[in-house]
């Protein structure tokens, strides 16, 4: 009887939340649900919202007919255009589309710029470029954004873009339950509830959940080789997005070594590279370019990256220093 009453209460709470607080209805929130080969893209034609329950962002997301977050049609790309490829950073996680570094690049360079991004890895970036070409795009200058928190891998062993990631119980509820979204939003934004949830292990603080690298020379070498192969197919500029683990936690010395060795490996191979680390560290507060409760860049971080990339493309050297 108690179990039945509990189920009825949950159903009522879910129904009332959807009726009275439609902003928490998960059906209106953005998800990557359109599969193209090994890639997961946005559902073509949808207009939804991307919301962080901590209150960091609530932005509109519009997906074009190819599953990409871009008002421009990649099928129309020519050799004189810029094509930005990357993961969720380049996609513009948490920021309005016009605030992304890709959109800012177009304004800074005067060159039409296409955004070809989705959460994936270096193998996925190659798959995205192949997808664009299959649509009729003629690829000229490519700017590929490599995230050092999770892009390095031994690609000789796993030479495919990441498949649909395993969904945990939190993700499962977030995709289906308005009541869960309401409760987690209240918990995140109420200090004493947040503190209780952290102590209980239900909420993991943002900076404690950073993906950390182990030192693995094979992964550095393999990633550099993968990017070299791309540079032989396209006019490529590799933009390195530094890991937040460089600046917080106990893994800083390892992250520093991994970062420096990847830069050296790319330079040694003659791959054009822009390392954003010195630029982000210049003001002494590198994390100020990220959301407080999310690992992605704010509009400020995107603006900084766009200016550096634009200058690098103008100079045209293999290694653009930002010291």
Assign residue 92 the CATH number of its domain.
3.40.50.1110
CB-based contacts of 168: which residues, under 8 Å, 6+ apart? Answer: none
Task: Let me know if residue 227 belongs to a domain.
Answer: yes
- For the chain, which ranges sit under pLDDT 50? 323
CA distance 259 to 99: 27
- Residue 214's pLDDT is what? 87
Residue 281: give the domain boundaries.
75-163+211-320
CA distance 229 to 306: 25
Query: What's the pTM?
Result: 0.87
**Residue 188: how many other CB atoms lie within 10 Å:** 18
Task: Let me know if residue 28 belongs to a domain.
Answer: no
Q: How many CA atoms lie within 13 A of 182 on its CB side?
A: 17
Q: How many domains does the chain have?
A: 1
């Amino acid at each position: 009887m108690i179990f039945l009453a509990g189920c009825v209460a949950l159903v009522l709470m879910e129904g009332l939340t959807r009726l009275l607080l439609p902003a928490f209805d998960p059906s209106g929130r953005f998800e990557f649900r359109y599969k193209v080969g090994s890639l997961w893209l946005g559902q073509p034609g949808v207009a939804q919202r991307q919301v962080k329950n901590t209150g960091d962002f609530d932005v509109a997301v519009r997906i074009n007919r190819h599953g990409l977050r871009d008002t421009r049609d990649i099928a129309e790309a020519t050799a004189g255009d810029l094509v930005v490829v990357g993961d969720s950073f380049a996609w513009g996680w948490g920021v309005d589309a016009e605030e992304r570094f890709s959109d800012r690049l177009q304004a800074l360079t005067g060159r039409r710029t296409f955004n070809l991004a989705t959460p994936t890895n270096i193998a996925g970036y190659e798959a995205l470029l192949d997808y664009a070409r299959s649509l009729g795009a003629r690829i000229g200058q490519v700017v590929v954004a490599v995230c050092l928190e999770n892009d390095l891998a031994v690609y000789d062993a796993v030479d495919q873009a990441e498949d649909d990631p395993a969904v945990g119980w939190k993700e499962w509820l977030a995709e289906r339950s308005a009541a869960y979204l309401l409760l987690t939003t209240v918990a995140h934004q109420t200090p004493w509830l947040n503190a209780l949830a952290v102590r209980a292990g239900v909420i993991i603080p943002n900076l404690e959940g950073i993906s950390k690298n182990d030192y693995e020379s094979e992964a550095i070498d393999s990633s550099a080789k993968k990017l070299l192969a791309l540079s032989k197919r396209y006019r490529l500029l590799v933009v390195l997005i530094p890991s937040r683990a460089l600046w917080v936690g106990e893994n800083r010395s390892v992250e520093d070594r991994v970062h420096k060795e990847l830069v050296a490996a790319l330079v040694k191979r003659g791959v054009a590279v822009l390392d954003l680390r010195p630029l982000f560290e210049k003001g002494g507060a590198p994390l100020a370019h990220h959301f407080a409760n999310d690992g992605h860049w704010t509009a400020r971080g995107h603006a900084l990256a766009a200016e550096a990339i634009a200058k690098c493309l103008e100079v045209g050297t293999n290694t653009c220093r930002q010291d």
